[in-house]
Structure 1
Amino acid sequence: MTRKTLDLNCDMGESLGAWKMGNDEGVLPYVSSANIACGFHAGDPATLRKTVAAALAHGVALGAHPGLDDLTGFGRRNIPITPQQAYDIVVYQVGAAAGVAASQGARLHHVKAHGALYNMAAAQPALAEAICRAVRDVDSSLILYGLAGSELIRAAEAIGLAAASEVFADRSYQASGALTPRTQPGAMITDLQASIAQVLRMVQEGKVRALDGTDVAVRADTLCIHGDQPGAVEFARGIHQALTEAGIEVRTVARS
Structure 2
Amino acid sequence: MPYHVRHHETHAITHIGWLRAAVLGANDGILSTASLIVGVASASSEPRAMLIAGSAGLVAGALSMAAGEYVSVSSQADLEQADLRREARELHEDPVGEHRELTGIYVKRGLEPQLAGKVATQLMDHDALGAHARDELGLSKHNAARPVQAALASAASFAVGAAIPLGVAAISPFRHVAVAVILVSLAMLGALGAIAARTGRAPIVPAVLRVLILGAAAMMITIGLGRLLGTTA
Give the TM interval when normalised to the shorter protein.
under 0.3
Q: TM-score, normalised by structure 1?
A: 0.25
Which is richer in strand? 1
- Which protein, 1 or 2, shows the higher relative CO under an 8 Å CA cutoff with sep ≥ 6? 2
Which is richer in helix? 2
Structure of larger gyration radius: 2
